[in-house]
Amino acid sequence: MKTALERINEVVSKDLSPWKERTIERRKKRDWTDRSNKIAIMILREIRKQKPINGMTQKKLADEMDVTPQYINKVVKGKENLTLETVSKFEEILGIRLLEVPSSKASPLKQEEVIAVSKSGAIPIVKYELEYTNEFLSDSTGKYG
């Protein structure tokens, strides 16, 4: 008599789950997606905050940035490897600071330097940014180049 496992193997789909392939891709990109995800969250929160005030949506943001809504959607999913030029454009249109570069390489960033500042207040992502920043600054493994 066949076991349940043998019966499953008779009906199992010929296609494997794409999970492992996706995971390999995600692991390869982690160095920068850690940051692109944080930027995505800050943009999403700002869109949500501004929506009742000025009708901001991903579509409106796309129009103002002269890019496609698909591009904005890729950014807010943390999947876009952003250039500094694009980051600056987001900052200008949304009126928030998304990236800060430490002014002195030797000293760690102060908390207030990594708070995401918006017109209407600060987004509380400080501890995560600090965690990241410390790892970045100590970079003993050369992980960040």
Partner 1 sequence: MEIVSIFGKRLFAFKYPDETEDEFSRLFNLWNDPEYLEEFFETNISDLQSGYWSNPSVVEAVLDTLRYAEHFEDILFELSEDNEDKHLNGLESIFRPLFDSSYRVLKFNKSKVRDNWLRLYALRIEKDVYIITGGAIKLTLKMQDREHTNIELSKLEKCKRFLLETGIVDVDGLIEEIES
Contacts with partner 1, residue ranges (CB under 8 A): 3-5, 7-9, 11-13, 15-20, 22-23, 26-27, 30, 37-38, 40-41, 44-45, 48, 73, 76-78, 123-125, 128
Instruction: Record the tokens describing residue 72, joined without a space.
Output: 């904005």
Taking the least distance from each CB to partner 1, the nearer of 43 and 109 is 43
Taking the least distance from each CB to partner 1, the nearer of 5 and 101 is 5
**39 touches 98 (CB < 8 A):** yes
DSSP 114: G
| Closest CB 105 distance from partner 1, rounded Å | 26
| Closest CB 54 distance from partner 1, rounded Å | 19
Q: Cite the beta strand spans of the chain per DSSP E.
A: 116-118, 121-123
Taking the least distance from each CB to partner 1, the nearer of 78 and 109 is 78
DSSP 57-87: -HHHHHHHHTS-HHHHHHHHTT-----HHHH
